[in-house]
């Protein structure tokens, strides 16, 4: 994401022959788009692949997204630099932490997106739009539209936004599983605010895991990807969308030959869920582990000989309770080698395979145990250990109106922060015993300063296994109160 005033691109650093960085840039999602007629690649008279038609089609469906984040008041912890030195001397205990309010500046940034349906659904990165207060979408023909967020998914760094209109240009969606190493691809986006930029390269690798997202199976390409390409399209020679440009691997922050895109296999499911439910219905296998090759290398470095009966697959180091894997009978030391008959050689491929399914779907798991192969069928579960549909929490369901404490109330009650309950009606808050006048200090140990804090706490709880809000509050008279709000329907 290109930012003209403040650096907002997410970065991850690693040590690889020096310090290199993963600069998050973008990737796309799909699933709410009309099924197109499959395009055919064109060949130049010389016998070389002709990419001109794919390029001309792609630039019309890739948009420029301008993101505005308004100035906000935030409460931050500040450490008194002299407290550690003088604290014990004067008998103050050496605390020294204070809370202060700061005013963040207004910020503007930009990224890319891909139109996936003619009625205006657009896929981009979560990190492009996650803090947006305003979205301005500009098409290749210079038409501008206001955008609104339909849903975001932090675990895959995907987001779905919408512009109003009809007959927008779209890209046909290809199957990223069909990509071959060495196949020509185009990266289309808006790097450095250079709109409608097309670069070409090949598929360098598939199912790369970079440690940037909790779910990832990147397509690696040497097509030039730079800041501002976030959310742009990776397109094959037939003009089909096969991935969303996500990040670069670089020591400088600019392109050095290593770009990564999210495959359409992951994208399709995430977009379909965001459009239908507003939140991703995420199935989990319930195993912790690593690539077999890494496990063998680690054991050899300790002087241990290892023979698992295979050198490909995912080594199971831990099986979570009440999970799909526990139901299937998987144990520590097993090696998962296939899902639904498709070979799995490493963790990224296992994540990609599971990410295409929903809780409640049946999955066939093939694994090695004591060098013998076996296959078992189980029902996929979510993080809560069940198959219920997870819905986006609407604030109306809580039945309470909240507002941040004003400075005078904070002063009179000697409180650093809080959200005052100004009204309560029938809903989850009333069921939990929350009353009008309470000042909510924390939700699930998260300090409450703004409504955004409360909404983030709800989102996190909604994805957790417990699905509860533990509220710590105080009355206007200073008496402590607590309540437990259950997010599950009774």
pLDDT of residue 11: 38
pLDDT of residue 284: 93
Higher-pLDDT residue of 226, 55:
55
Please compute the mean of the pLDDT values over residues 385-411 and round it to a whole number: 84
Measured CA to CA, the distance from residue 311 to residue 421 in angstroms comes to 58
Measured CA to CA, the distance from residue 107 to residue 69 in angstroms comes to 5
Does the pLDDT value for residue 82 go beyond 70? Answer: no
* 3-state SS, one letter per residue, for the chain: CEECCCCCCCEEEEECCCEEEEEECCCCCCCCCCCCCCCCCEECCCCCEECHHHHHHHHHHEEEEEEEECCCEEEEEEECCCHHHHCCCCCCCCCCEEEEEEECCCEEEEEEEEECCCCCEEEEEHHHHCCCCEEEEECCCCCEEEEEEEEEECCCCEEEEECCCCCCCCCCECCHHHCCCCCEEEEEECHHHCCCEEEEEEEEEEEECCCCCCCCCEEEECCCCCCCCCCCEEEECCCCEEEEEEEEEECCCCCCCCEEEEEHHHHHHHHHHHHHHCCCCCCECCEEEEEHHHHHHHHHHCCCCCCCCCCCCEEEEEECCCCHHHHHCCCCCCEEEEECCEECCCHHHHHHHHHCCCCCCEEEEEEEECCEEEEEEEECECCCCCCCCCCCCCHHHHCEEEEECCHHHHHHHCCCCCEEEEEECCCHHHHHCCCCCCEEEEECCEECCCHHHHHHHHHHHHHCCCCEEEEEEECCCCCEEEEEEECCCC
Residue with tokens 């440009």: 245
pLDDT of residue 421: 93
Which residues are identified as catalytic? 127, 157, 230
Least confident range of 93-102, 211-220, 413-422 = 93-102
Higher-pLDDT residue of 442, 210:
442
Does the pLDDT value for residue 13 go beyond 70? Answer: no
Portion of the chain with pLDDT greater than 90, in percent: 58
Does the pLDDT value for residue 39 go beyond 70? Answer: no
Measured CA to CA, the distance from residue 463 to residue 376 in angstroms comes to 27
- Dihedral sign for Cα atoms in the order 461, 462, 463, 465: positive
Residue 253 pLDDT grade (very low, low, confident, very high; cuts 50, 70, 90): low
Least confident range of 167-176, 316-325, 360-369, 410-419 = 410-419
Q: Who contacts 290 (Cβ-Cβ below 8 Å, separation ≥6)? A: 314, 315, 317, 347
Measured CA to CA, the distance from residue 287 to residue 326 in angstroms comes to 9
The whole model's pTM is what?
0.75
Annotated binding site: 127, 157, 228-230, 285-289
Higher-pLDDT residue of 120, 396:
120
Residue 40 pLDDT grade (very low, low, confident, very high; cuts 50, 70, 90): low
Measured CA to CA, the distance from residue 164 to residue 117 in angstroms comes to 11
pLDDT of residue 196: 83
Does the pLDDT value for residue 9 go beyond 50? Answer: no
Least confident range of 139-148, 189-198, 341-350 = 189-198
Higher-pLDDT residue of 226, 115:
115
pLDDT of residue 15: 32
Mean pLDDT (the chain, rounded): 84
Among residues 353, 28, 329, which one has the least CA distance to residue 158? 28
Supply 69's token pair: 């984040």
Residue 184 pLDDT grade (very low, low, confident, very high; cuts 50, 70, 90): very high
Supply 145's token pair: 């539209």
Portion of the chain with pLDDT greater than 70, in percent: 83
User: What pLDDT, in 10s, does the model give residues 124-171?
Assistant: 999 899 889 999 999 999 999 999 999 999 999 999 999 999 999 999
Measured CA to CA, the distance from residue 434 to residue 440 in angstroms comes to 10
Annotated binding site for substrate: 127, 157, 228-230, 285-289
Higher-pLDDT residue of 141, 462:
141
pLDDT of residue 77: 66
Supply 229's token pair: 């390409």
The structural domains of the chain, ordered by start, are: 2-68+109-277 (2.40.10.120), 287-379 (2.30.42.10), 395-486 (2.30.42.10)
Please compute the mean of the pLDDT values over residues 324-353 and round it to a whole number: 96
Higher-pLDDT residue of 303, 84:
303
């Amino acid at each position: 994401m290109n930012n003209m005033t403040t650096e907002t691109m997410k970065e991850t650093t690693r040590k690889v022959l020096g310090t290199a960085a993963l600069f998050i840039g973008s990737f796309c999602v799909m699933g709410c788009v009309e099924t197109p007629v499959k395009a055919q690649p064109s060949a130049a008279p010389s016998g070389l692949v002709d990419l001109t038609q794919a390029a001309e089609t792609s630039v019309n469906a890739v948009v420029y997204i301008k993101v505005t984040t308004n100035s906000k008041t935030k409460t931050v912890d500040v450490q008194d630099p002299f407290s550690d030195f003088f604290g014990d001397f004067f008998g103050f205990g050496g605390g020294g932490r204070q809370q202060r309010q700061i005013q963040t500046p207004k910020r503007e940034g930009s990224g890319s997106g891909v139109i996936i349906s003619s009625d205006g659904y657009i896929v981009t990165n979560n990190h492009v739009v996650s803090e947006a207060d305003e979205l301005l979408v500009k098409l290749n023909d210079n038409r501008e539209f206001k955008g609104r967020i339909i849903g975001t998914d932090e675990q895959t760094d995907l987001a779905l936004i919408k512009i109003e209109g009809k007959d927008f240009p779209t890209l046909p969606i290809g199957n990223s599983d069909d990509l071959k190493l060495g196949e020509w691809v185009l990266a289309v986006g808006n790097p450095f605010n250079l709109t409608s930029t097309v670069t070409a390269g090949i598929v360098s690798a598939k199912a790369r895991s970079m440690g940037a997202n909790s779910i990832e199976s990147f397509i690696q390409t040497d097509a030039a990807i730079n800041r501002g390409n976030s959310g742009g399209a990776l397109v094959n020679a037939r003009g089909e969308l096969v991935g969303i440009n996500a990040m670069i691997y670089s020591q400088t922050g600019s392109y050095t030959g290593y770009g990564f895109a999210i495959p359409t296999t992951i994208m399709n499911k995430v977009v379909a869920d965001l459009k239908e439910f507003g939140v991703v219905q995420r199935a989990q296998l319930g195993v912790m582990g690593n690539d077999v090759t890494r496990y063998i290398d680690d054991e050899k470095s300790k002087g241990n000989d290892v023979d698992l009966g295979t050198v490909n697959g995912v080594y199971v180091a831990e099986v979570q309770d009440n999970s799909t894997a526990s139901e299937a009978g998987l144990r520590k030391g097993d090696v998962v080698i296939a899902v639904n008959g498709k070979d799995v050689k490493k963790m990224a491929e296992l994540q990609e395979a599971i990410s295409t399914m929903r809780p409640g779907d049946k999955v066939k798991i093939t694994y090695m145990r004591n060098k013998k192969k076996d296959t078992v069928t189980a029902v996929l579960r979510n993080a809560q250990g069940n198959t219920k549909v997870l819905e986006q929490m609407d604030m109306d369901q809580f039945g309470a109106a909240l507002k941040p404490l004003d400075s005078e109330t904070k002063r009179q009650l000697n409180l650093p922060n809080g959200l005052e309950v100004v009204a309560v009606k029938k809903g989850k808050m009333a069921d939990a015993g929350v009353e009008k006048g309470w000042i909510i200090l924390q939700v699930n140990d998260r300090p409450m300063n703004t409504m955004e804090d409360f909404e983030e706490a709800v989102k996190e709880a909604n994805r957790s296994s417990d699905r509860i809000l533990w509220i710590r509050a105080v009355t206007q008279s200073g008496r402590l109160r607590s309540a437990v709000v259950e997010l599950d329907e009774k």
